[in-house]
Amino acid sequence: QSVLTQPPSASGTPGQRVTISCSGSSSNIGSNAVNWYQQLPGMAPKLLIYTTNQRPSGVPDRFSGSKSGTSASLAISGLQSEDEADYYCAAWDDSLNGFSVFGTGTKVTVL
Amino acid sequence: QVRLQESGPGLVKPSETLSLTCSGSDDSTRDYYWSWIRQPPGKGLEWLGYIYQSDETKYNPSLKSRLIISRDTSENQFSLTLRFVTPADTAVYYCARGFTSSGTVDSWGQGTLVTVSS
């Protein structure tokens, strides 16, 4: 039921910059902020970026978020082995009385 | 962050009702958006809904006819009830605390696997 589309996978070597896209529509990303979650293997997700580009306390500044129109991006600079995880974007959708929606998820592999 | 813990049966029969409870480590149930999110095995996350302090609820439109989220402030708990389950409802169910009306979640339970099978 996801209405936010992400690439299934992304990869990079340690130290590289990796970018993950999240494509939505005018009713979600186009009119609302975007959040990003990181899910390490076997763990519950963790909030990584909120309100499109804000980092919760404790999240390294290697992680950054941005948005343009109906698409958003998460960038990981200086990729580290511990960044190998699944990443999900999320946004509020104003249609059908409002609901939250997650992206399809992107598996990041550190080569 | 608050510590959250899901509890409930791990196995539910098709067409029956799935009921889960989430217990929090503090009594701030009035200030946040208490949420349920699930993840089928090997798949992505799906937002189910939340309840807010004034008993305001928001639900995933695809589940709205089967889903109820409620809370018990005296017990620092909130609950999920999903009726008429099918095997497609098999998933790890997470309870979570949100701090915005748009569903931003900053604390998660560890999750509990619920299998729908006869």
Q: Are B79 and B72 a contacting pair, CB within 8 Å?
A: yes
Mean pLDDT of each 10-residue bin along chain B, 118 residues long: 92 98 73 94 97 88 95 86 98 95 93 98
What pLDDT score was predicted for residue B28?
60
What pLDDT score was predicted for residue B55?
82
Interface contact B47-A98, CB threshold 8 A: no
3-state secondary structure of B52: coil
Q: Are A66 and A14 a contacting pair, CB within 8 Å?
A: no
What pLDDT score was predicted for residue B107?
94
Which position has the token pair 């409620």? B70
The whole-angstrom separation of Cα A82 and Cα A17 is 14
The whole-angstrom separation of Cα A41 and Cα A38 is 10
- Nearest by CB to B106, which of A39, A47, A100? A47
Q: Give the A:B interface size as CB pairs under 8 Å.
A: 67
Distance from CA of A57 to the nearest CA of B (A): 11
A103 chain-B contacts, CB cut-off 8 A:
44
Residue A21 pLDDT exceeds 70: yes
The whole-angstrom separation of Cα A24 and Cα A93 is 10
- Nearest by CB to A90, which of B49, B103, B109? B103
3-state secondary structure of B15: coil
Interface contact B102-A101, CB threshold 8 A: no
DSSP B52-109: -TTS-EEE-TTTTTTEEEEEEGGGTEEEEEE-S--GGG-EEEEEEEESSTT--EEEE-
For A1-111, strand residue ranges (E) read 9-12, 18-23, 34-39, 46-49, 63-68, 71-76, 85-93, 99-102, 106-110
What pLDDT score was predicted for residue A35?
98
B52 touches chain A (CB under 8 A): no
A100 chain-B contacts, CB cut-off 8 A:
47, 58, 102-103
Residue A1 pLDDT exceeds 60: no
A2 — pLDDT class (breaks 50, 70, 90): low
| A28-49 mean pLDDT | 97
Length of chain A: 111
Interface contact B102-A100, CB threshold 8 A: yes
A90 chain-B contacts, CB cut-off 8 A:
45, 47, 103-104
What pLDDT score was predicted for residue A22?
98
